[in-house]
Amino acid sequence: MTELRGFYTLWLREVKRYFRDKVRIVSSFFQPFLWLVIFGTGFRFSGQIGELNYQEYLFPGIIGQALLFTSMFMGISVIWDKEFGFMKEILVAPISRVTIFLGKMIGDSTDAALQGTIIFLVAALIGIKVDPLTYFAALPVMLLITFGLVSIGLTIASFMRSLESFGVIQSFINLPLFFLSGALFPLTNPGIPEWLQTASKANPLTYGVDALRTIILGEAWQPLQALHVNLAVLGAFDVIMIIIGTWAFTRMK
């Protein structure tokens, strides 16, 4: 019972902090807006992808991007807490490290999924057709994608001491995962070299983006994998990352 309340309070903290950061919420509207309106419109006239125009195709990819970037960024809160001391308050509390990790991780995942929700709103705003029911079908998949990604961010952050060093994640993890996920271009395009295909298959986000496209675009999308395969890969990825993350938090001082 104590563990459950500890979990709840840590989860609530992450969510409260998210809603208090007004600047971030505004900027999280603006970025996908740029991608979908400028990038999306620009490429729309470079050709169709099956029956889809590029903007429609890009939309689930940008959700994937937002989930990835937000999830990774959440690690920063761990460094922040270490730097400003609140981590000590959490670590000496009489609750287990598993609870601490899960509370923070699921709190951060909730924030990331909220960020994904914002993209749905932006999409609706610029005239991409989205069924509200589609959103509710996509929500659990969005969470499934974020659990593993947030765990990576938290794990890396638990080893780091300064906010500055966290910046390397942007170049060494975020961008490669983003570019290799098929968020921006179809991985099935003729002529895409073998190495790129292989690399993208090793990227968990590829399965996430594919699952989101299957749910959001429906019949118009030719999936890379069946939905259940995508979900199984994501689930396995989450389990592994959560185990690693819990271990990382157990050894944190």
Partner 1 sequence: MNKVIETFKLTRMFNELTAVDHLDISVEAGEIFGLLGPNGAGKTTTISMLCTILKPTSGTAKVNGFDIVKESRQVRKSIGIVFQDPSIDDRMTGRENLFMHANLYGVPLSEQKSRIDNVLKLVELEDRADDLMRTYSGGMRRRLELARGLIHYPKVLFLDEPTLGLDPQTRDHVWKYIRELKENHDITIVLTTHYMDEADKLCDRIAIMDYGKIIALDTPAKLKETLEGDVVIIKANNLETLSALITEKLGLQNARIINGTVEVTMKNGKSMLPRIVEVATQNNIFVESIALREPNLEDVFLYYTGRTIRADSSRERHGFLAIARRRIK
CB of 128 vs partner 1, minimal distance in Å: 34
Q: By C-beta, is 80 or 185 nearer to partner 1? A: 80
Q: Name the site residues for partner 1 (rule: CB under 8 A).
A: 1-2, 5-6, 8-10, 13, 16-17, 20, 81, 84-95, 253
CB of 57 vs partner 1, minimal distance in Å: 38
Distances (CA, A) of 209 to 19, 39, 228, 250: 26, 18, 13, 32
Site of tokens 């990819």: 61
CB of 18 vs partner 1, minimal distance in Å: 11
CB of 6 vs partner 1, minimal distance in Å: 5
